[in-house]
Amino acid sequence: MTGMVCKDFLVQRKQLGYYIVFFLLYAVLAVMEIMPIGILYTMTLLIGMILPMSTFAYDDLARWNKYAAATPASRQGVVAGKYVFTLLSVLMAAALSAVLVIAVLAIKPELGAVGELLMGLAVCTLLAILIDAVILPLLIKFGAEKSRLISILLFMAVFGGVMLLGQLAGGLEKLLPPDWLLSALPGLLALLAIGSYGISYFIARGIFEKKEL
């Protein structure tokens, strides 16, 4: 499994370098107050969605899975490698974002409170993990191209549904949960993300075990 994870990092090293450049650029723009500082931690959501699709697209093009399943890692190792790679990518993006948020606030403390921004980063990180729990089994089942379309449609359905509910309720602010639930939200989201990611792994492993390569 470790080899599978290293392979994905090596394949994506150029793209990961681009993301680091984007992070640094956004940090400079945040210091200049051209862009909000929140853009730094929302990048974790972007990385959480794009990187898994990129690795699966490469594997589909190279017909990698057929070869990888025949290695000592077996099919189980292939799936585990994808889940570990995706999780590490999101956590590394979150760590870099946290460092840059703190650095920006050290230069421009008036841009926000450290605690609130890091809480926003934590929520975005957990949301990225939760999104990956949904899209990884789809990527294993349908491949990168079909899953990209399904993910877009799913995002549009969720976003459209929230907007519609907001309109029916008289505004999105009417949909906000009570304060006690907002306080507990990070903990609940963490439990949901961790539980969903674990369940997703076993679902994906079952799909890949039955898939014809």
pLDDT digits 0-9 by tens, 37-86: 878 877 887 888 788 888 888 888 878 877 777 777 788 888 999 999 99
18 pLDDT exceeds 50? yes
- Predicted pLDDT at 154: 65
Structure tokens at 195: 């539980």
Question: Among all chains, which residue has been given the structure tokens 């309720």?
Answer: 169
Mean pLDDT value across residues 152-165: 60
Percentage above 70 pLDDT, the chain: 82
Mean pLDDT value across residues 2-24: 85
- Predicted pLDDT at 32: 87
Is residue 171 very low, low, confident or very high in pLDDT (cuts 50, 70, 90)? very low
166 pLDDT exceeds 60? no
- Predicted pLDDT at 180: 55
167 pLDDT exceeds 90? no
Mean pLDDT value across residues 98-103: 90
Mean pLDDT value across residues 199-209: 92
pLDDT in tens, 114-158: 887 888 888 888 888 988 998 899 888 887 777 667 766 766 665
Is residue 200 very low, low, confident or very high in pLDDT (cuts 50, 70, 90)? very high
170 pLDDT exceeds 80? no
